Amino acid sequence: MLTKKQTILRYSVVAIIFILFLFVAAAVSANALWVKQFDSTIRTMCQAVQPVGLTKVITLATDFAGVKGMIVITAIIVIIMACYRQFLWACWLGVNMLVGASGINWVFKSLFQRERPVNMLIEQGGFSFPSGHTMAITTFTLSIVFMLTVNQRYHRKTYLIITACLISFIGYTRIYLGVHYPSDIIGGFLLASTYMIVSTTLFRQFGPRIQKLFIEKA
């Protein structure tokens, strides 16, 4: 359970991160000059060298955080947790991926309807902002880190560093393949982070009570 002070602090952080997201989103929507310059600079750096072998590897890697990849991985983990009667965790992870990684992304993509960059190395439909792959890998990895460290803080920093590396790498693959602007990646990360702080806060507040209901009905 969280104290009142901890809860207020968490929701304050949520507000700050969401405001940052809205700032980026507004700039993207207005086609601001600094967004154009930022996107152009980062894309040039990421796409400077594109050998065929590296492109194949990156294409496979980016599929890991795609819809199919995340569905398969999440389903496997949910089934394993259900087999061990960890129904609360299984439901929580499933909801995070359905709502935080998919539903919210669809809503904001439909809202902004930003077209994808031209000259993509792979076929990719749909709109560009915010990045769905970034939201998926951010939501998934932060969910796993939370589940592993909710009752103890050992290795939390290590897990978070690994998570940051995975998120950064997937973001890089999307820019490398030309299917996203860098601002899409930032927007996806900020939006998914906002959702995950809210989700983990609610879990800490109501998780123990819900867990008792599962135990009583078992």
Q: Which residue has the higher pLDDT, 2 or 25?
A: 25
Please give the pLDDT value at position 195: 96
For the cut 80, the answer to whether the pLDDT of residue 207 exceeds it is no
Query: Measured between alpha carbons, how far is residue 204 from residues 43, 121, 157, 196 in Å?
Result: 39, 43, 20, 12
Please give the pLDDT value at position 214: 57
Q: Please give the model's pTM, rounded to 2 decimal places.
A: 0.91
Q: What per-residue string of b and e applies to 126-155 under the rule 16 or more CB within 10 Å gives b?
A: ebbbbbbbbbbbbbbbbbbbbbebeeeeee
Distance CA 103, CA 74 (A): 15
Q: Tens digits of per-residue pLDDT, 174-184?
A: 999 999 999 99
Domain that holds residue 99: 4-217
Tally of domains in the chain: 1
Distance CA 167, CA 135 (A): 9
Which phi and psi angles does 97 have, rounded to 5°?
-70, -35
27's CB contacts (< 8 A; 6+ apart) are 34, 35, 183
Please give the pLDDT value at position 151: 80
Which token pair is 139?
A: 């939501």
Percent of the chain topping pLDDT 70 = 94
Distance CA 103, CA 199 (A): 14
Give the three-state DSSP class for 168: helix
Q: Tens digits of per-residue pLDDT, 135-169?
A: 999 999 999 999 998 887 778 899 999 999 999 99
Please, what is the average pLDDT of the chain? 90
DSSP annotation of 129 reads: S
Q: Which residue has the tokens 């920093």?
A: 157
Least confident of 1-5, 20-24, 52-56, 68-72: 1-5
Please give the pLDDT value at position 67: 74
Q: Is 113 left (phi over 0), alpha (psi -120 to 50) or beta?
A: left
Q: Which of 67, 69, 18 is nearest to 187 (CA)?
A: 18
